[in-house]
Amino acid sequence: MTGILKRILAINLAVLHCKPAIGENMTTVGISGWGAYVPRHRIKLEEICKVWERDPAPVIKGLGVEEKAVASRDEDTITMAVEAARNALARAMTDKTFNLKQLGCLFIGSESHPYAVKPSGATVAEALGISSNFGNQMMVADLEFACKAGTAGLQMAHAFVKSGMIEAGMAMGSDTAQGRPGDALEYTAASGAACFIVSKNPVAELEGTYSFTTDTPSFWRAEGKKYPSHGARFTGEPAYFKHLTSATKALMQKLGLKESDFNHVVFHMPNAKFPLQAAKMLGIDANKLKQGLVVTKIGNTYSGSSPLGLTAILDIAKPGERILVTSYGSGDGSDAFSFVANDKITELQNIGKKTWDYINNDKKYIDYGTYLKLRGKIHRD
């Protein structure tokens, strides 16, 4: 068979099996900048237990959480997102070929958008100087899917850049999570934000992503209600563990990877117990979760939870290391990701404030009365 005939046969086989032509859709896309923000105010779980006359020892041991971050009076989903985004941009702009005008989308996931009708993202874009008032093409969307709204935005930004519609995008998860006073959620519902710049010149390349979604009534907040409700018996096995492990297994199967191929792992953190239990179910070494297990010191930041775990990993990841991230959002769904750090990541790790710097440094502890004032919880209904 001549060389020409072999080439024709190869092309026909590629078409028959729906394979992309050489060079098609091979653009590398991933994270080129990341940033975190955690408020300085903290309340210890002991303080909450004291108010509700509960023994703190079993509560702290059961949740694996010692204290949680609380947004101040002048902080909300928007202000925290802006701070995280500024940190992300500082890293992304070490690439001299990157500029703000390349940013064409901004997705912000949250359960606590300040307005029912008025996008948080438009205000964030204006504060950062990337709205259309500054000459940018800018597509903005506020996202909601419980605690996985931030990772949904990361998937969307990746798709926009990968398709060639825009050069770079921004995705963030930011929440000032609410829990009814005296409810189990009050012990962990916390505040924090994370942001990622997605471009074709990444320091952490996205290998693949997979989502798993069902209609499971585990957690909800009706229109006009201040606090969420939860069906306690649905929050474990049929909700968190089913969705998170299913998305993770499907992603590994899709990419032909196994548990041992990952150096770092981040799972959504409603508490410290659940992600560690999920890791055990999947045969993953618990030590791989250690760096990203930020919940122990700041609580569950909802849409910022797994994103903040990822920023903590990116702060220390070495070139060539593979990172598994799987979010979870009540209602119910999980997004799983596989990232691979490249040799450009080390330069960015020395820029700005790291995630654990926010967590450990400059903390200010508050009592329960101050906590109520800051969160606007002045009565129990």
Strand order in the sheet with 364-365: 67-70, 41-44, 364-365
What is the phi-psi region of residue 187: left when phi exceeds 0, alpha when psi lies from -120 to 50, beta otherwise? alpha
pLDDT in tens, the chain (381 residues): 455 444 434 434 333 333 333 334 568 999 999 999 999 999 999 999 999 999 999 999 999 999 999 999 999 999 999 999 999 999 999 999 999 999 999 999 999 999 989 999 999 999 999 999 999 999 999 999 989 999 999 999 999 999 999 999 999 999 998 888 888 889 999 999 999 999 999 999 999 999 999 988 766 566 666 666 655 555 546 799 999 999 999 999 999 999 999 999 999 999 999 999 999 999 999 999 999 999 999 999 999 999 999 999 999 999 999 999 999 998 899 999 999 999 999 999 999 999 999 999 989 999 999 999 997 754 343
Q: Are 292 and 316 in contact (CB under 8 A)?
A: no
Predicted pLDDT at 208: 98
Residue 160 pLDDT: 98
State residue 11's pLDDT score: 37
Measured CA to CA in angstroms, residue 6 lies from 13, 16, 18, 121 at distances of 11, 15, 18, 53
pLDDT score, position 219: 61
Query: Does residue 147 have an active-site annotation?
Result: yes
- pLDDT score, position 332: 92
pTM: 0.90
Query: Which pLDDT belongs to residue 182?
Result: 86
Q: Check if the beta carbon of residue 251 is closer than 8 Å to that of residue 212.
A: no
Cβ-Cβ contacts under 8 Å for 53 (sequence gap 6 or more): none
d(CA 126, CA 117) in angstroms, rounded, equals 17
pLDDT in tens, 118-155: 999 999 999 999 999 999 999 999 999 989 999 999 99
Integer Cα distance of 37 and 358 in angstroms? 7
Q: How far apart are the first and last CA of the chain?
A: 81
Can you say how many angstroms the Cα of residue 127 is from the centroid of all Cα atoms in its chain? 21
pLDDT of amino acid 235 = 52
Residue 256 region by backbone torsions, left for phi larger than 0, else alpha for psi between -120 and 50, else beta: left
Backbone angles phi, psi at 334, to 5 degrees: -140, 145
Pick the catalytic residue from 49, 147, 186, 264.
147
Kindly report the CATH number that applies to the domain delimited by 30-375. Answer: 3.40.47.10
Contact, 115 vs 223, CB < 8 A?
no
CA distances from 191 to 173, 254, 326, 327 (A): 11, 34, 20, 17
Catalytic residue among 111, 113, 158, 230: 111
What pLDDT sits at residue 181? 87
Q: Is 18 known to be catalytic?
A: no
The pair of three-digit structure tokens given for residue 182, joined into one six-digit string: 């005296």
pLDDT tens readout for residues 271-313: 999 999 999 999 999 999 999 999 999 999 999 999 999 999 9
Closest CA to 140 of 175, 180, 112, 113: 113
What pLDDT does residue 123 have? Answer: 98
